[in-house]
Chains A and B, each alone.
Chain A
Amino acid sequence: MISVKPKIGIIACSGEKLVEGTLTRVATRIVVEKLRPFTTTIICQPLFMAGDINHKGGGSEREFAKKHKTITIEGCDEECGKVAVERYSAPATATIYVKEIMKQHPEFIPNSPQDIGDDGMKLAEIIAQEVAKKVDELYKSQ
């Protein structure tokens, strides 16, 4: 008998003002679309606050993060993803810091929040690979 394990929730900081925020969004899409489509799901950070207020299904974001393992991807030191998950649900299981990965790859310089460019896409792929590694670790540990 095959047992289906719970998916891992991925929460991108999504900061619209910073290029790092765009990198978190693109990396998240790469993880859930291409790298780990069967073991991950996206959770929107802003829906943690808005969810229970005026959207019939929104509260499920909070419930999901209470009962499932989550990974936040942070674009800056504010750690908006981590803070929101902990405030409205439970502490994130793991956190990936985009700036740390960028420091390891100074050869790639993303363009802008609106268009991260080819270098930005390469960085997003690298970030996504790091997230996928963490997903595998958490998924297997369940």
Chain B
Amino acid sequence: MSEEKVYIIPCSGIGKAFGGMCREAAYIVVNELAPEKAAIECLPLIVKGKKEVIDALKANKIITIDGCTAKCAYTDVRVAVREPDAVFMSTDIVKKHRDLKPEKDILILGENAKVLSRKLAENIAEKVEDLYIE
């Protein structure tokens, strides 16, 4: 691995808005808030066991983001790679901001869900900074 990155692994859920919020937050981190320090990787490739991906994750720090109690991102990373260095749940940010109830739209996130995703992304970016310095 030539370039050090903190890998962000969001859940792939498409049954509720919480999964979409995980992905939206991950994209905000890797595209806007910490593009030099963070990278996204496909969770399904980890499930498949793609060697290059597994090796890259083993050599770097990992953050998982989940949207439901199945915790697919966390569990699959723990099984296929190792315990993640940090874990986030999109539902936690919802609990902290009761005034911003996420809309049920899944195809395209609603305005509240987008605001919540950005707040989640800001928290994740702080963790990226911490892990990157370690």
Contacts and interface: CB of A to CB of B under 8 A. Distances in A.
B79 A46 contact: no
B43 interface: yes
Interface in A10-33: 12-18, 21, 25-26, 28-30, 33
A83 interface: yes
Contacts of B106: 29
Nearest to A48: B47
Contact of B76 (A17, A29, A50): A50
Given A15-B42, A78-B45, A49 B76 contact: yes
Contact of B11 (A30, A46, A55): A46
Interface in A113-136: 113-114
B12 A46 contact: yes
A16 B72 CA distance: 14
What band does the interface of chain A fall in when counting residues whose beta carbon is under 8 Å from B? 20 to 34
A114 B13 CA distance: 15
A134 to B, nearest CB: 18
Nearest to A18: B42
A81 interface: yes
B67 to A, nearest CB: 10
Interface of B: 9-15, 23-24, 26-27, 31, 40-45, 47-48, 50, 69-73, 75-76, 79-80, 106-107
24 contacts: A14-B12, A14-B42, A14-B43, A15-B42, A16-B9, A16-B10, A17-B41, A21-B44, A29-B14, A29-B106, A42-B14, A42-B15, A44-B14, A45-B43, A47-B70, A48-B47, A49-B76, A50-B71, A53-B75, A55-B71, A80-B45, A81-B44, A84-B44, A114-B27
Given A17-B41, A46-B44, A80-B44, 15 more contacts: A17-B40, A44-B15, A44-B72, A45-B44, A46-B11, A46-B47, A47-B70, A48-B47, A49-B72, A50-B70, A51-B70, A54-B70, A113-B27, A114-B23, A114-B24
